[in-house]
Amino acid sequence: MSSLSRELVFLILQFLDEEKFKDTVHKLEKESGFFFNMRYFEDCVTNGEWDDVENYLSGFTKVDDNRYSMKIFFEIRKQKYLEALDKQDHAKAVDILVKDLKTFSTFNEELFKEITFLLTLGNFRENEQLSKYGDTKTARGIMLLELKKLIEANPLFRDKLQFPTLKNSRLRTLINQSLNWQHQLCKNPRPNPDIKTLFTDHTCGQPNGSRAPSPVTSPLMGSIPKVGGFPPLGAHGPFQPVPSPAPALAPAPLTPSLAGWMTNPASVPHQTVSAGPLGLTVPSNAASMLKHPRTPPTSNLALDYQTADSEHMLKRSRAFGISDEANNMPVNVLPVSYPGQSHTHTLYSSNDLPKTVVVKLAQGSAVKSMDFHPMQHTLLLVGTNIGDIAIWEVGGGEKLVLKNFKVWDLGSCSVTLQASLANEYTASVNRVAWTPDGSICGVAYSKHIVHIYSYYGGDDLRNHLEIEAHSGNVSDLAFSQPIKQLWIITCGEDKTIKVWDVVTGSKQYTFEGHEAPVYSVCPHYKESIQFIFSTAIDGKIKAWLYDNLGSRVDYDAPGHSCTTMAYSSDGTRLFSCGTNKEGESHIVEWNESEGAVKRTYHGLGKRSVGVVQFDTTKNRFLVAGDEFLIKFWDMDNISLLMSTDADGGLPASPCVRFNKEGILLAVSTNENGIKILANADGVRLVRLIESRAHDASRSASGTVAKGAVIGTYGASSSAAGTSIGDRSATVPAIVGLNGDSRSMPDVKPRILDDSDKSKVWKLTEINEPSQLHSLRLPDTLLAVRIIRLIYTNSGSAILVLTYNAVHKLWKWQRNERNPTGKACTSVSPQLWQPSSGILMTNDISETNLEDAVPCFALSKNDSYVMSASGGKISLFNMMTFKTMTTFMPPPPSATFLAFHPQDNNIIAIGMEDSSIHIYNVRVDEVKSKLKGHQKKVTGLAFSNVLNVLVSSGADAQLCVWSMDAWEKQASKFLQIPTGRVPAPNTQTRVQFHQNQIHVLVVHETQIAIYEASRLELLKQWVPREASSSITDAMYSCDSQSIFVSFEDGSINVFTAATVRLRCRVNPSAYLPSNPSMRVYPLVVAAHPSEPNQFAVGLTDGGVHVLEPLESEGRWGTLPPVENGTAGPSPTSAPASSADQQQR
């Protein structure tokens, strides 16, 4: 089906939904397979309509398609079975067992026996794992949460969970436009055309009025307009059509509607057609919009290899595509439901709210603002009334960072600010906030200035920018990325909103129009439109686009209150909370279609002290601090859901802040402190971190996911394990390595132990196997040296590529000894192979393996690997090991592969002929060829923050390329140490730091850190002995350490910030003694969520996983800080002689 035909199906779906043909809608969804309606699916599951559930699913997947599908059907049928048992309907239970569940016995016979055994019990709750099974409604709700996770992770549902962004009645609008065009072609067009049918083309009658009568009178047609053009076919929404729209280039009038300008401000109605709401236009490109109407984006399912496992789909066309996976952009991409559809949300209960006080933090001064780190979910940024900022590891109750108020460059400040500081050198923090990736944070002060810090993890917070943003109080700040640069938005007492470049500090926009000091800002992204809401202390709310055309919306907050605004997590629902001068507080949800309050929540006090603060979580709950309490609401219910005093000691209007997962809630206290409240998942997370920090016992981590697992199917990973017991939540994601385009789930926070700081520092030498945990992975295949090595994104498997072009995959299973199912040294993994026994083997026909530079890249969902070993590039299915396709036969051969971080259809391919191909896999076309290297390209790394691609080659040269035009921005050759002559084809590799600004460069003669945009050398470390060449190096997942392997078999661990050696693992500690065989690591890989775990691939074909002892907790101790700084110095210099002697 062509892309336009596919779009037509979506338009028909929208039309059927608007006309309330519900059954037909869902039949078309199923038969087309283009859109999986999660809300309809939820309703069927909640109502126990199991036949409808499976019938609807059958349009998208089958039981044996993949492990996700298998678990989806298993969970549904298991629930049917348990409900029949609960009703004591044994005949029905036996029928379900034989007809529905029997099919799973071939995959896991023991599990099927366990399920069958439940028939013999008087009450299946006698089974330990089912003892917590509650009532049917609760059980269905819990199952539904699991099903949604599985569906979202299933590649077959990729690109099918979001409905395209469409204006209301889009099909009707297109018909109107067609009629209008037909009318313009009439030889004698009438001013008031009479349309009575759509079955034939329209023509106006002759001037004398003679014309053939139309046989059909269409009920779709509205009243005839007074002048020119056709009436709309129907009006669906709060706006009534107007007979004469404004001229295309006329200034945009104000509208009280949010939707009027948000839905599509750049689109302009046809001059003689009135269709839908009259919104604001963008004059700068209005004319071009008339010439080039925009259509919603679409993807070709037949060319999308990540949306189907069937190979025949790829055989239809030479081209293939890669579906867009989890969005890495700092702004939200909003899911779009059918217009008129009610909001879809996951089922939660009040038990999911964090209500248990688990940690108390003593800040020391009154807390004014808090923000949890978006990726390290237990890191809390705090600002106080005396200007202090702090970063807390709430799990261990440890204050990692404390900075007192200080103006960094007083001489550059305005005279007004200098005078204010001379009178009183202090300022209160009004707002603290993280960027979406957590690499930068901002602080707004009560006196003129904003501070921007770069965060490198742990206790490493560095000054980045100081901006004198406003005259007087800076009330609020927020980060946004409307274009590819990261911006910070501020507002203040001078009644303005300003937009600044985070990297340079240059001002981009100033928005003026408020008549009172601006109190808050709320940037957002919707349907490709970036905008900012602002609120003032007089209760006025305005909205702005990133232009100089003034505010687009101007209306009053409820009660003319001093208000803050916030969206739900998925960006689809808008809320505000505020307090007016009389102390009346209002918390409301807005109807964006009408620009009016949709619902007002009850329960706030009538005499609030200060402005009530609020927050949202899980697309379901609201929280506010009011009347010495924490108050919760269900977003869909105006009545107060519950409240808690958090064991007392709260101020009248406490600050409140959820973490991203909604499992922790921070609240300020009267005693200048903070309490951390948690739900069951949050309690487990906090206890886990406490045990890691203080217990020094591996068994402590096993309590996190307590509860035996009866069994899993096949080679199930942590993402799709199957159990008939409780579906206990896994520990949520904590940090990601942003320099890598892969997702980074479940990173555990770094706990710093400062107890030994007073001792004399000494390099940690590990010489004996008893000094570390090491595991050699079991291997029954031919042992061939390891050329490439990587952890899967889930952290539960290791994939390698050997010299003879064969891939090997080891998977860890979830069990009592390893409840997380992640890679570890305490449990051996399984060398996994499909039942077919085939191996993933690259094309090596007519390839000289000695000259080849093997390379591979893994998809973000771990389902596919793209790989080459000197021949064609191959695409493999990681579940079946089947070759999905091959492309790009040499010459030249591929030498490095990297997925574009924002579009998985774009791949950067380093080539043997020194070029870089920017290749679009969907259309099978090389979009750009980059030329700048002199030898083969051996390394590529993307940066979202800088919007660049950094490349490295065998010529020891680095190049920086713009991702917009693919133009070279900078290049530099490495500084090769005196006396060192590298081999002719020595590989140079690159990897971005978590901040995506600094890049690690690895060469056999050195490791170095550069500032990527200018290629400024910040730090360099050179081995002292020329014989000890570096073979590979990599950042740890939190970018705090660098793991470096050497030809002498040793592995060094460096502190990344200073490139100081802190631990050396000698070969005697992990390699068997064999004088006749020289074995050493060729490649090293860091675990994606365990900062202290890494793996090495050896010349003898072995793979070892290494971890420090629990009693140590990490690799060595931090070296002492040099010259008062722990960060990279601005000068480029080799490592100190002391460091070199340690080698």
Look at residue 573 and tell me whether its pLDDT is greater than 80: yes
CA angle in degrees (0–180, nearest 5) for 809-814-819:
135
The H or E element containing residue 17 is helix 3-18
User: Are the C-beta atoms of 96 and 83 separated by less than 8 Å?
Assistant: no
Query: Residue 525 and residue 482: Cα distance in Å, rounded?
Result: 8
CA-based diameter of the chain, in Å?
Answer: 108
Q: What is the pLDDT of residue 593?
A: 65
User: Are the C-beta atoms of 893 and 911 separated by less than 8 Å?
Assistant: yes
pLDDT confidence bin for 1075, thresholds 50/70/90: low
Look at residue 726 and tell me whether its pLDDT is greater than 50: no
Look at residue 639 and tell me whether its pLDDT is greater than 60: yes
Query: Residue 296 and residue 165: Cα distance in Å, rounded?
Result: 6
Give, in order, the Cα–Cα distances in Å from 885 to each of 310, 328, 872, 916, 921. 12, 27, 10, 21, 11
User: What percentage of the chain has pLDDT greater than the value 90?
Assistant: 46
Q: What is the pLDDT of residue 814?
A: 86
Helical spans, DSSP H, in 330-436: 415-423
Give, in order, the Cα–Cα distances in Å from 557 to each of 149, 416, 562, 569, 907. 37, 33, 8, 22, 48
pLDDT confidence bin for 811, thresholds 50/70/90: very high
What average pLDDT score do residues 878-883 get? Answer: 89
State the Rg of the chain over Cα: 31
Q: What is the pLDDT of residue 834?
A: 80
Look at residue 288 and tell me whether its pLDDT is greater than 50: no
Question: 3-state DSSP call for residue 7?
Answer: helix
Sequence-separated (6 or more) residues with CB below 8 Å from residue 355: 642, 644, 677, 679
Sign of the alpha-carbon dihedral angle for 1059, 1062, 1064, 1070: negative
Q: What is the pLDDT of residue 213?
A: 38
Sequence-separated (6 or more) residues with CB below 8 Å from residue 44: 52, 53, 56
pLDDT confidence bin for 1076, thresholds 50/70/90: low
Give, in order, the Cα–Cα distances in Å from 1034 to each of 5, 910, 994, 1055. 47, 19, 12, 12
Tell me the two tokens of residue 956.
Answer: 């020891």
User: Are the C-beta atoms of 1100 and 783 separated by less than 8 Å?
Assistant: yes
DSSP per-residue letters across 521-555: EEEEEETTEEEEEEEETTSEEEEEESSSS--SEEE
When mean pLDDT is compared over 233-247, 340-354, 850-864, 976-990, the highest value belongs to 850-864
With tokens 């004469």, the residue in question is 244
Tell me the two tokens of residue 434.
Answer: 């993280």
pLDDT confidence bin for 280, thresholds 50/70/90: very low
pLDDT confidence bin for 230, thresholds 50/70/90: very low
Secondary structure, 3-state, 58-108: CCCCCCCCCHHHHHHHHHHHHHHHHHHHHCCCHHHHHHHHHHHHHHHHHCC
881 dihedral zone (left: phi>0; alpha: psi -120 to 50; beta): left
The more confidently predicted of residues 231 and 437 is 437
What residues are paired with 944 via a beta bridge? none
pLDDT confidence bin for 973, thresholds 50/70/90: very high
Query: Residue 735 and residue 746: Cα distance in Å, rounded?
Result: 7
Look at residue 285 and tell me whether its pLDDT is greater than 60: no
User: Are the C-beta atoms of 885 and 896 separated by less than 8 Å?
Assistant: no
Q: What single-letter amino acid sits at 326?
A: A
Q: What is the pLDDT of residue 281?
A: 33
Q: pLDDT (tens digit, 9 = 90+) per residue, 2-48? A: 678 888 999 999 999 888 898 998 999 999 999 999 989 999 999 99
Q: Which of 511, 510, 518, 515 is nearest to 493 (CA)?
A: 518
Q: What is the pLDDT of residue 1?
A: 57
Q: What is the pLDDT of residue 743?
A: 38
Q: What is the pLDDT of residue 518?
A: 95
Q: What is the pLDDT of residue 232?
A: 38
Sequence-separated (6 or more) residues with CB below 8 Å from residue 358: 676, 677, 678, 682, 683, 686
What average pLDDT score do residues 862-885 get? Answer: 91
Mean of pLDDT over the chain? 79
pLDDT confidence bin for 278, thresholds 50/70/90: very low
Residue 1078: is it exposed, middle or buried by C-beta count within 10 angstroms (0-12/13-18/19+)?
A: exposed
Q: pLDDT (tens digit, 9 = 90+) per residue, 1052-1069? A: 999 998 899 999 999 999
Look at residue 798 and tell me whether its pLDDT is greater than 60: yes
When mean pLDDT is compared over 227-241, 262-276, 717-731, 821-835, the highest value belongs to 821-835
Helical spans, DSSP H, in 1078-1136: none
The more confidently predicted of residues 969 and 849 is 969
Q: Which of 971, 1047, 1034, 1052 is nearest to 1004 (CA)?
A: 1047
pLDDT confidence bin for 1026, thresholds 50/70/90: low
The more confidently predicted of residues 1011 and 124 is 1011
Give, in order, the Cα–Cα distances in Å from 204 to each of 187, 189, 190, 192, 207. 8, 6, 6, 10, 9
Q: What is the pLDDT of residue 331?
A: 32
The more confidently predicted of residues 245 and 145 is 145
User: Are the C-beta atoms of 658 and 625 separated by less than 8 Å?
Assistant: no
User: Are the C-beta atoms of 456 and 994 separated by less than 8 Å?
Assistant: yes
Q: What single-letter amino acid sits at 596?
A: A
Q: What is the pLDDT of residue 1100?
A: 92
Look at residue 1073 and tell me whether its pLDDT is greater than 60: yes
Look at residue 711 and tell me whether its pLDDT is greater than 70: no
The more confidently predicted of residues 234 and 574 is 574
End-to-end CA distance of the chain, in Å? 63
User: What percentage of the chain has pLDDT greater than the value 70?
Assistant: 78
Q: What is the pLDDT of residue 437?
A: 86
Length of the chain, in residues: 1143
Query: Residue 519 and residue 579: Cα distance in Å, rounded?
Result: 12
Q: What single-letter amino acid sits at 1122?
A: E
What average pLDDT score do residues 409-433 get? Answer: 89
What average pLDDT score do residues 541-546 get? Answer: 92
What residues are paired with 555 via a beta bridge? 541
Q: What are phi and psi of 81, to 5 degrees?
A: -65, -45
Look at residue 933 and tell me whether its pLDDT is greater than 50: yes
The H or E element containing residue 690 is helix 680-690
Give, in order, the Cα–Cα distances in Å from 32 to each of 35, 51, 73, 316. 8, 19, 21, 18
Give, in order, the Cα–Cα distances in Å from 1111 to each of 17, 217, 644, 691, 762. 61, 84, 39, 12, 17
The H or E element containing residue 930 is strand 925-931
Sequence-separated (6 or more) residues with CB below 8 Å from residue 642: 350, 353, 355, 631, 632
The more confidently predicted of residues 711 and 960 is 960
Q: What is the pLDDT of residue 67?
A: 83
Q: What single-letter amino acid sits at 939?
A: G
Query: Residue 293 and residue 291: Cα distance in Å, rounded?
Result: 6
Q: What is the pLDDT of residue 835?
A: 78
Question: 3-state DSSP call for residue 1137?
Answer: helix
What average pLDDT score do residues 195-205 get? Answer: 79
Tell me the two tokens of residue 893.
Answer: 């051969």
